[in-house]
Chains A and B, each alone.
Chain A
């Protein structure tokens, strides 16, 4: 290393401050996380939602160990257990038409529902954010084109749209995820666009332009970090919608029939006349699970919205 002694000194100082910077940054992040957690914990409903969600995730992850009966990896026609057995010590939630243990099915069903929920909303977030950023930031022609596309998806009722897409693409687990993802992005893109538009008029964006920064730099360094909290709060609600959509599609018989999800359980129950056989447990287990999980997401979403959206914040 060359340079004067003075140069050396500043270099050492810079290195010292740099390591200090990392520590400082970690400290700030931890502090921020603590603050958010405290606000979140103060919201009873949000906490209840979080507990419910954690419970479901634990059940889904440990399903093979928690299930009381054989891995019901697919629906089969060979019946070993009694049909429509009442809930009892052996069959916690009773059995269904095929004599399968409803409790074990519900555990495995949680896996499918959560996977669909998270993956579909991931697709939707990525698509929605890209579309929202492009139309909001670049404006003019791209805005018109992208927003008309968004309007197209928003105007057509999304449930029939999903049905048509699944019919066209074929019934499979992956296709259901993709279809839910590509039909639910418009709301995200609208939100992102609105936020980008308001950010774009901020002085610090104009300042970055005056410095000579290009669109890529401005989007990555200024706009994305500022829209991210909004996207995050929105994601939670999207997951809830995705889980509902999956159940809905499965109930209509548009899910891969070999997949065990709460939707396919309901479909099966409906097709095997569980409703008229008064086998309420076959319907109640997946039904209540769907409602509880969606509820949990909404409660968390509401609580987060209150924290991340300063206008709603109670003082």
Chain B
């Protein structure tokens, strides 16, 4: 049927093999360009570069936070990791196999180990299905449980996320936002995955409910040994939950470091600006506030050189012409900048 599709997954190169042993998941050069169509024949007029050459890795049991402003490509990256959209180029290696080369049956198997929780808890739930069918759907799809067994497993899952047994036959609209997100989490856990991709799971919730859901997620991680990729625009949430943080700007990864290193010593000017924008509860606190001018570049026509240079106060000549390499400047601290801040933080 599929002459043009590879039937066998691509074998890993020795270097990739070595990396795959170290990390549960890693991505190399992940790029996604969306075509812009226009005109009467809907010909391709250009491309939107949503995600550009992203490199990252996640270790087992860790939480990788991905931050960035809206439109920077966070959600696209999540969907690329899940292979809900096909990458233009690059590889995603998960549990020792290149996901991007998987044929459909293998992809289906791989998705058992990798589940996703979406941003809007209500629209991720089919309004015409009961909670039992929603939470049990993955089990049903993979033919793991039917009938009474299914009900029993769903009850277990509801208990894990702290929902009452009576909710089994209710419909999604009868729940509050926090409960809905718990339902989404329960469903994502149904197949006992080793990794969850959480796409802004708390940003649609009230602050108090946010905390509850975050605590639930952290508890689950501890008890089930889960690995998280946690996408958000909320720095305080990231600080709370992540072991390592990746900062995205206009489709590119600009900085990747452990949470402490990133929050105490940001190297990329954008990260610094982002951190300085976080409100502090102490009115007398002395802070170096950086206010960025200008706007996020148009992804259809990103600036030459470093994508951040039009808004950067540290830019030099080289930033206009040459794209900075994503390099490791301290152990496990990666930055894509020609002039990392180092000790010199003053704008």
A13: B residues at CB distance < 8 A: 155, 165
Docked complex Cα distance between A189 and B95 (Å): 43
- B128 — which chain A residues lie within 8 A by C-beta? 225-226
Check: A204 CB closer than 8 A to any chain B CB.
yes
Residue in A21, A210, A213 whose CB lies within 8 Å of B116: A210
Cα A221 to Cα B123 in complex, Å, equals 16
Q: A221 is contacted by which of B127, B129, B152, B165 (Cβ under 8 Å)?
A: B129
Of the candidates A21, A211, A225, A226, the one whose C-beta lies within 8 Å of that of B168 is: A21
Binary contact track B107-145/A, C-beta < 8 Å → 1, others 0? 110011001101110011111111011000110011000
Q: What residues of chain A lie closer than 8 Å to B70, measured between beta carbons?
A: none
One digit per residue, 1 when the CB lies within 8 angstroms of any chain B CB and 0 when it does not, for chain A 212-225 equals 11100100011001
Summarize A's interface: helix, strand, loop or mixed: helix
Task: Determine whether B176 belongs to the interface, using a CB cutoff of 8 Å to chain A.
Answer: no
Chain B residues whose CB sits within 8 angstroms of the CB of A15 once the complex forms: 148
Structural contact, A210 and B151, CB atoms closer than 8 A: no
User: B155 is contacted by which of A14, A28, A214 (Cβ under 8 Å)?
Assistant: A14
Partner of A207, one of B107, B116, B165: B116
Q: What is the bound-complex CA distance between A207 and B123, given in angstroms?
A: 10
Q: Pick the residue among B125, B141, B148, B191 that contacts A217 (CB under 8 A).
A: B141
Q: Is B169 interfacial (CB-CB < 8 Å)?
A: yes
A34 on interface, CB distance cutoff 8 Å: no
How many A residues touch B, CB cutoff 8 Å?
29
B186 at the interface (CB under 8 A from A): no
- B116 engages A212 (CB within 8 Å): no
Are A14 and B124 in touch, CB under 8 angstroms? no
CB-based contact A207/B112 at 8 Å: no
Interface residues of B in 97-111 (CB under 8 A from A): 107-108, 111
A213 touching B141 by the CB < 8 A rule?
yes
Q: Please determine whether B152 and A10 come into contact, CB atoms closer than 8 angstroms.
A: yes
Q: A17-B165, A21-B168, A207-B124 are in contact. Are A212 and B151 (CB under 8 A)?
A: no
Bound complex: CA A212 to CA B116 (Å): 11
Judge whether A203 and B168 touch: CB under 8 Å.
no
Cα(A119)–Cα(B291), bound, Å? 70
Q: How far is the CB of A238 from chain B (nearest CB, A)?
A: 23
Q: Which A residue's beta carbon lies closest to that of B114? A: A210
**Of the candidates A204, A221, A226, which one forms a contact with B125 in the assembled complex, judged by CB atoms under 8 Å apart?**
A204
| B84 interface hit (Cβ, 8 Å) | yes
Instruction: Decide yes or no whether B82 CB sits under 8 A from chain A.
Output: yes
**Chain A residue with Cβ nearest B120:** A203
Closest chain-A Cβ to B74's Cβ sits at a distance in Å of 16
Q: How long is the Cα–Cα vector from A221 to B152 in the complex, in angstroms? A: 21
Q: Say whether B115 contacts A211, CB under 8 Å.
A: yes
Within 8 A of B (CB), among A197-212: 202-204, 206-212
CB of A24 closer than 8 Å to a CB of B: yes
Within the complex, what minimum Cβ distance (angstroms) separates A241 from chain B? 28
- Shortest Cβ gap from B186 to chain A (Å): 13
Contact (A10, B169) CB under 8 Å given A204-B126, A221-B129? no
User: Shortest distance in angstroms between B228's beta carbon and chain A's nearest beta carbon?
Assistant: 15
Contact between A18 and B155, CB atoms less than 8 A apart: no
Q: With the chains together, A222 CA to B126 CA distance in Å? A: 7
**8 nearest A-B residue pairs (beta carbon):** A212-B111, A203-B123, A24-B169, A14-B152, A203-B124, A212-B108, A225-B128, A14-B151
Give A contacts to B, CB under 8 Å: 10-11, 13-15, 17-18, 20-21, 24-25, 28, 202-204, 206-214, 217, 221-222, 225-226
Would you give 8 A-B contacts (Cβ < 8 Å), ordered by A? Answer: A13-B155, A13-B165, A17-B165, A21-B151, A25-B169, A210-B84, A212-B107, A226-B128
